[in-house]
Structure 1
Amino acid sequence: MNISSPTPNDTDPIPLSALNQWSYCPRRCCLIHMEGEFTDNIHTARGTAEHKRTDDFRQENQAGRRVESALPVWSDRLGLVGKCDVVEFLPDGTPYPVEYKHGARKKWMNDDIQLAAQAMCLEEMTGKPVPRGAIYHASSRRRREVVITAELRQAVETCVAEVRAALRGLTLPPPLSDKRCRECSLVEICQPALLAERERRGRLAKNLFEPNGEGA
């Protein structure tokens, strides 16, 4: 399904979800945010169903903490915009973002980068440091706390720069052609196996005219 996105430019805010997509697979990120392509598979459908639990903004108090769901966040400095699934405000007002994911409890760097970006947005918005957050893994029904380290913050900065450069360049990155492709909902659009075979045949054809890998 083509969702028809406008041509991006340097002033367009980058969705927080694009950082997750880029960290997982740059080609997937560009197919979604540059080409406007998206389709569901069982993994994305489960993720969508899980996020429906936090899709509507609401505010409540739990164990002395103010808890807000579907909280809009942004960073003017980084040019980011998005929503936090849940933000718990500690008694001193410190935000604690919680990102919901449908899978089992496991560390994924792309999820940690998205959470760190949320923390950096909240810091800019509230003026309070956000040293920690959590990923809630729905299949395990458990949280995994993430420390927002200097290294993770730098990964966010790098990711933002790379995504912006890629969207500005309007050129699709090559497919990864690894085990991640089997789980990707865009595999039929991306065609990693077909492109890998085309590249292999190109190398074979080139070698026919360049014995021992050298030109005549």
Structure 2
Amino acid sequence: MTREYTPDELLPLSGIQHFLFCRRQWALIHIEMQWQDNALTVEGKQLHERVDDPFFVETRRDVIISRSVPVASYTLGLSGICDVVEFTSSTEGIRLPGREGFYRPTPIEYKRGHPKRDPVDEAQLCAQAICLEEMLAIDIPFGYLYYGETRRREPVTFTKELRQLVYQATTEMHAYMARGYTPRVKVSKACRSCSLAAICLPNLQEKTSSVKTYIRQQIEQA
């Protein structure tokens, strides 16, 4: 039986991207409440400021565009904001207050930069879709990621594998949160662009681990 989380247990939906990028980064932000901007995070905030307007609703032909849509899922235990949800007129879908006919929702997430190798952005978008599915009682097969560097939408299909990745990640996030656990970092090239590098101190951790290993080896050999 699938567990349902309480309102007090809901975690920030945007954290799933941090978690899949680096579990330590996620824990520093969401468990230890630490944050530090760098040029990349500032650019990302500026991009979102241009699209986030919770009072803005636009209609283009058969599409209703709604910005900064609050969403939540009690099966994932997440809540957050969709940058944009487009409701497209369809023969099947949901009814909208004050509108005739049916509409199908499609989430759209805005990102700075360009598409990444790992599906961190796709997982965040998929989590938004799962929230919308739970709230609106409708299946959402795909969404879009808009990248500021390429200035175009990238379609994302919400496959079974991607959905499973979201469920596995959120389960692990809740387990870390319950334990108050901040894991050690696995040093990689990504550490150079991380805004929390000065707080995380990945190289120092690596050296500390080596010292601990050395001391343990000396004790074992004594």
The answer to whether the superposition gives a TM-score over 0.5 is: yes
Q: Give the aligned partner of residue 52 of structure 1.
A: 49
Q: Distance in 1 between matches of 2:57 and 2:186?
A: 41
Correspondent of 1:150 among 138, 142, 160:
160
Q: Distance in 2 between matches of 1:44 and 1:169?
A: 28
Counterparts of 1:110-125 in structure 2, within 5 Å, are 110-125=120-135
Report the CA distance between 1:176 and its aligned residue.
1.8
Q: Give the aligned partner of residue 59 of structure 2.
A: 61
Report the CA distance between 1:107 and its aligned residue.
4.6
Correspondent of 1:196 among 202, 206, 215:
206
Identity %: 38
Instruction: Could you list the structure 1 runs, at least 4 aligned residues long, displaced by more than 6 angstroms after superposition.
Output: none
Q: Distance in 2 between matches of 1:70 and 1:193?
A: 38
Q: Distance in 1 between matches of 2:180 and 2:39?
A: 29
Report the CA distance between 1:56 and its aligned residue.
1.5
Q: Give the aligned partner of residue 3 of structure 1.
A: none
Correspondent of 2:68 among 62, 67, 70:
70
Counterparts of 1:160-175 in structure 2, within 5 Å, are 160-175=170-185
Q: Distance in 2 between matches of 1:134 and 1:148?
A: 10
State the one-letter code of the partner of 2:60. Answer: Q
Q: Distance in 1 between matches of 2:39 and 2:60?
A: 32
Counterparts of 1:175-194 in structure 2, within 5 Å, are 175-194=185-204
Report the CA distance between 1:125 and its aligned residue.
1.2
Q: What TM-score results when the alignment is normalised by the length of structure 2? A: 0.87
State the one-letter code of the partner of 1:131. Answer: P
Q: What TM-score results when the alignment is normalised by the length of structure 1? A: 0.89
Structure 1 gaps, min length 5: 1-8
- SS of the aligned residue for 1:90 comes to strand
RMSD: 1.6
8 Å Cα contact 1:75/1:121 also seen in 2: yes
Report the CA distance between 1:207 and its aligned residue.
2.8
Q: Distance in 1 between matches of 2:182 and 2:205?
A: 13
Report how many aligned residue pairs link the two structures. Answer: 204
Structure 2 gaps, min length 5: 1-5, 91-102
Q: Distance in 1 between matches of 2:124 and 2:8?
A: 20
